[in-house]
Chains A and B, each alone.
Chain A
Amino acid sequence: MEDTTAPFASHINVNQAVIRVQEGDMESYAFIIQHFQRKLYLYCYYLLKNQEEAEDATQDIFIKGLDRIRQFSPTVSFSAWIYKIAHHHCIDLMKKRNKSLTWFLHLRKEPTEFNASRYTDYIHELLERLNTVERKILLLRALEDYSFEEIGIIMGLKSAAVRKKYERLRKKMRNEEGGAALERHVYQHGGERI
């Protein structure tokens, strides 16, 4: 779905839809799905590096969201709340995977219904420079333009820590950081910078 609604108007509509679903109007959940599905799918796709898994994950996240929607209170935006579910869901999926397989998954050309594999391969390759936490921060900034505070809420980090990590990932993407070879060696020895 294209984002054609103005942010303020869509915010109101999402909030109204959430209240309606909380009151038992399940059909209003369709509006919520339509509003978030594209970006949530891209979040999963660029994290999981697999179209099929991302499709399943997106559906599961919405189902989990529906299961828990009565627990939602507007102390945070519904958007941040659903991304928090996505964050934890993707963490769980990544833990369960066979890592040696996923290591090379992005290299495999996958049939995509939007015939954009080269486009996404390019993005996947650039994202490979980042660790998982950095990749999530970049995706949340790129897809939803979240503030550091919102990303902190979603990922369970302090906003100052998110800011620090964002600055570092930006530097990393721009390759301004010295010792690229050193970090690469560390990775090869099973270590990772935290």
Chain B
Amino acid sequence: MSGMFTSMEENEFDQLQKMIRETPVHVDFTARIMNRMDNRYEHYKPRAMKRYKAAWIAASLFVLAIALTSIGFVSPTMAESLKKIPGIASIFQAAGDSGLKTADEEGLVRSGSADAHQGVTLQVPVAMFDGTRISIGLNRVISGGKSSASTIREQIKDVDLFVDGEPVQSFSPPNSNSIGVYLYPGMNDDSAIVEFSDLHNQGGKALPDKFNLSMSIAMNGIQAPFLLNVPMERSTRNTRVWEPNRVRSLNNIDFTLMKVESTPITTNLTTTIALSDHARLTLSERSIGIDVFDDKGNKIKFISGNGWNETNGSMLQSDYRFEPLPANVKSITVKPYEHAYQAKDSNLFQLEADGTPVVHYLPELEMTVKLK
């Protein structure tokens, strides 16, 4: 992503389309293409299919492991034995997400069905629902041990999700807010993690504790969608919830920490940013983010989030999901920050050398909340 996050009015959006259409360019390929016609088949010599032995072995082991896996909760014993087979149940292990790793290690995962089209099989070896997020591990196996030029994430075109047969968006709030479905890397090019959360803190319906999750996944190059099912059940009953409703203010900005939900897999913080004078939220206010630290000063790793504000509205509601809190944590400190903007253009984020945006903490909005 570039640092370009300008604010754009409707007429500017139309203007952008006009600019694209009217780009001052003159091209003429006619002669070059007509000249290439006679020898065009030279350009389409089939490439040798790449075969990677390691990938083939991993895929074979995966098929074997899937055959052993029953649909439903994986018992801790079964989970343990599956972990000994390379390639199985390790999508969550390799995700770089300590919550999913815990879910995997504690056997708080389920597995789902598989579907195959045109020599490609898509499977759900692991899935998890802890009341704050649903994570679904996907694995692609190509028949004959072939490898694909594209990763599974590149090949996935669209994912439609259904909860007991109802579209997942039927759980969204009645406004324009919608459930965001994210795709994360898995452990290799053939695996990925689909993740989403309901918007129960933003006016949406909470997902039931137990339901059938069905997915229709469209893949590039495959005509029919892959239809997959996972019988989901909330894996953690011991969600701890605090509702501090603590407010901190800076100028006309009121930052409120509404709620903290903590499971062994996820920490969810619900916040609002409201302008006390009911002014319209600007880009810089909408872009305020938060970092969270435990009572030892360790930063808790951010996973994902959803934010929504009404068009021209003065309040932004957000849910931030972080990795689980350490056991026996006594308090957390929430540090809101704003982005630094470039001097030459106040709509552009300043970026660090690694491309991450430069941020400045807002101490006036910072708060420490005891968790008892």
Contacts and interface: CB of A to CB of B under 8 A. Distances in A.
A163 interface: no
Contacts of B149: 92, 95-96
B180 A37 contact: no
Interface string A62-76: 110011000000000
A26 B181 CA distance: 47
B146 interface: no
B305 A91 contact: no
B30 interface: yes
Given A116-B24, A189-B184, A156 B19 contact: no
Nearest to B195: A191
B23 A42 contact: yes
A7 interface: no
Contact of A139 (B9, B20, B150, B302): B20
A59 B28 CA distance: 10
Interface in A107-148: 107, 112-114, 116, 119-120, 122-123, 125-126, 128-129, 133, 138-139, 141-143
B277 interface: no
Contact of B16 (A62, A123, A186): A123
Interface stretch (B53-61, B84-92, B156-164, B229-237): B156-164
Most buried by B among A112, A116, A125: A125
A128 B25 contact: no
Interface stretch (B100-108, B121-129, B314-322): B314-322
Contacts of B238: none
Contact of A192 (B96, B182, B339): B182
A187 B1 contact: yes
Given A125-B4, A178-B316, A38 B184 contact: no
A116 B29 CA distance: 19
Interface in A171-186: 173-182, 184-186
A83 interface: no
Contacts of B131: none
A81 interface: no
Contacts of B30: 30, 33-34, 37
Contacts of B21: 39, 142-143
Most buried by A among B23, B159, B195: B23
B316 A194 contact: no
B13 A182 contact: no
A173 B16 contact: yes
B309 interface: yes
Contacts of A41: 25, 27, 29
Contacts of B194: 194
A53 interface: no
A107 B355 CA distance: 13
Contacts of B220: 91, 156
Contact of B306 (A58, A128, A179): A179
B307 to A, nearest CB: 2
Contacts of B8: 126, 173-175
Interface string B278-313: 000001001111000000000000111111110100
Contacts of B283: 175, 180
Contact of A182 (B5, B159, B289, B357): B289
B50 interface: no
Nearest to A26: B37
Interface in B144-193: 149-150, 153-154, 156-159, 180-185
A193 B29 contact: no
B184 A33 contact: no
B25 A95 contact: no
Interface string A25-64: 0110110011001110110011000000001001110110
B43 interface: yes
B328 interface: no
Contacts of A63: 33, 36-37, 40, 43
A156 B218 contact: yes
Interface of A: 1, 26-27, 29-30, 33-34, 37-39, 41-42, 45-46, 55, 58-60, 62-63, 66-67, 91-92, 95-96, 106-107, 112-114, 116, 119-120, 122-123, 125-126, 128-129, 133, 138-139, 141-143, 156-157, 161, 170, 173-182, 184-194
10 contacts: A34-B30, A63-B33, A106-B2, A126-B8, A142-B18, A170-B13, A174-B8, A179-B286, A189-B303, A194-B194
Interface of B: 1-2, 4-10, 13, 16-21, 23-30, 32-34, 36-37, 40, 43-44, 96, 149-150, 153-154, 156-159, 180-185, 194-195, 218, 220, 283, 286-289, 302-309, 311, 316-318, 320, 339, 356-357
